[in-house]
Copies of this chain bind each other. A is one copy, B any other.
Amino acid sequence: MSKVKNVLFLMADQLRADYLSCYGHPRLHTPNIDALATRGTLFERAYVQSPVCGPSRMSYYTGRYVTSHGATWNNIPLSAGEWTLGDYVRPLGPRVALVGKTHMRVDRDGMARVGLNGESEQGRYVAECGFEPYARDDGLHPDFIYDPDASYERYLRAHGYDGKNLWQDWANSGIDQDGNLLSGWYMRNARAPARIADEHSETAWTTDEAIGFIEAQGDRPWVLHVSYIKPHWPYIVSSPYHDRYGAEDCVPVVRAEQEKTAGHPVYQAFMHHAESEVFSRDEVRETVIPTYMGLIKQLDDHIGRLIACLEAQGRLDDTMIVLTSDHGDYLGDHWLGEKELFHEPSARVPLIVVDPSREADGMRGQRSHALVEAIDLIPTFVDALGGEVPYQRLEGRSLLPLLHGQTAAGEWRQYAVSELDYSFRQARRELGLGASDARAYMIATKDWKCVFYTHFRPQLFDLKNDAGELVDLGDIPAYQDRIREMREMLIEWLQTRKTRVTTTDADIDRLSAFAGKRLIGLW
């Protein structure tokens, strides 16, 4: 019997798995997150459905691959007809709320078509990706989209901060000795402390809001998505985290000269992006990475506060806790910055699940090497909360069998899939592609990773013998059989996307039992 009554669904933004000590970082200690791993299961091979905020999150929130939900890049509206976490979980009883970021963009045309606006309850849910926006803030508030009413902006104003764009000029800027702003938009300023006090940082605010929700909710069940905006750039952090780490704490960059010269056309074009060129400079890495680490340390400390609140409220025993990220961060590895492509620093994320049920006791502190995906979370939540998983629509799989140690080898999926639509990026223009031709698909198996591109040859990496993914075997004749085999996986995957969403297989089995009683064919 599951004891799960609540779900605390923690997400960080742009958090690389290997920047947590439980995933092996040698210098950055994250004891609070590590404690979750001790109490739950840590997944070594968790992939996002697209290594970009918007599409990745839409997969987390819909339980469907990017090709299926269609919101293929940031700011592409999620179709009003796509079901989300709230649609699946709310009927089971819990209040389903959001603190922090979703990157949801409203499908205004689709809402208008069914007569919805943001005023009705249904309209609010559709507009907010299924969540009750208890405290939504997507972060990233440059001047040209400044909104004085943003939650965090109002919070800072209430706490006495003064100015026009407090998020930008206080939370994400430092100041020099002459009183000049050191904008966090410029990475050269990364080592400056943010002007804001840590207790008013975005990470602190998000945590406070979450604590407020949990305390107010008391014994009533909930699913709370606590979605931190950090360690996503601007890379700047408040004291004392700003100088906690130095260049000597940086792990070595993972890159090789031959990647540049023998580069794949799409990969090469991504290397030409501004963020890749800047992160290829050691000076930039040594300035930015210590601050990135500081942001993660800050996150870990505040997660500690949040878990302490759960404990104080007596919620540890009936709350499933999940910690993950929407994608990683290249940080100069492979001569790249940011994310989007499919190397492990980008497409792989941390995933730790604590299931308080007795059935999970045998897996506490264990590490699973199963290929798991972001879309597995909704089925896991529905399953843990005692619901029937609507697999006619959800494309992931409940992790409960893995969490309970009940999955035999060979029973789990044999490959993970991630996708990219880079039509918005400079690389697409450099390659002269149309806006519908800039697609890529990753197929990752236990030992191999193959990336298929529309109009270009695939990339192939031998994960077993080349964990750093430094040697692309994609154009080597001896590996074409392997590529063909993995292409068959891609084709199988393309053919099995779930679009027959209004009818279950069980419905069909039931209804088709009458197939012999049709009225045609009678003489």
Contact = CB atoms under 8 A, between A and B. Distances in A.
28 contacts: A67-B497, A71-B502, A72-B500, A76-B500, A77-B503, A79-B502, A80-B114, A83-B113, A87-B113, A107-B502, A110-B502, A114-B114, A115-B122, A140-B519, A185-B519, A186-B522, A187-B523, A274-B521, A274-B522, A275-B521, A278-B521, A278-B522, A337-B520, A423-B505, A424-B508, A424-B512, A424-B515, A425-B512
Nearest to A505: B435
Nearest to A454: B495
> Residue among A113, A277, A506 with the most chain B CB within 10 A?
A113
A298 to B, nearest CB: 20
Nearest to A514: B424
A448 B193 CA distance: 68
Nearest to A74: B511
Contacts of A277: 521
Nearest to A68: B499
Interface string A421-440: 10111101100001110010
A338 B520 CA distance: 8
A230 to B, nearest CB: 15
A439 B281 CA distance: 52
B274 A502 contact: no
Contacts of A454: 495
A500 B421 CA distance: 10
A142 interface: yes
A142 B519 contact: yes
Given A77-B502, A188-B523, A434-B505, A113 B122 contact: yes
Interface string A74-95: 0111111111000100000000
- Counted per complex, copies of this chain come to 2
Interface of A: 67-72, 75-83, 87, 107, 109-110, 113-116, 120-123, 126, 140, 142, 185-188, 233-234, 273-278, 281, 284, 337-338, 421, 423-426, 428-429, 434-436, 439, 454, 491, 494-497, 499-503, 505-506, 508-509, 511-512, 515-516, 518-523
A115 B116 contact: yes
B115 A518 contact: no
Contacts of A113: 83, 87, 122
Contacts of A110: 81, 502
A344 B503 CA distance: 30
Contacts of A122: 113-115
Contacts of A115: 116, 120-123
A435 B508 contact: yes
B521 A109 contact: no
Nearest to A337: B521
The 5 closest A-B pairs by CB, nearest first: A81-B81, A274-B521, A275-B521, A70-B499, A435-B505
A191 to B, nearest CB: 13
Given A428-B512, A495-B454, A70 B501 contact: yes
- Most chain-B CB neighbours within 10 Å: which of A281, A439, A497? A497
Given A113-B87, A512-B423, A70 B494 contact: no
Contacts of A276: 521
Nearest to A438: B508
Nearest to A279: B521
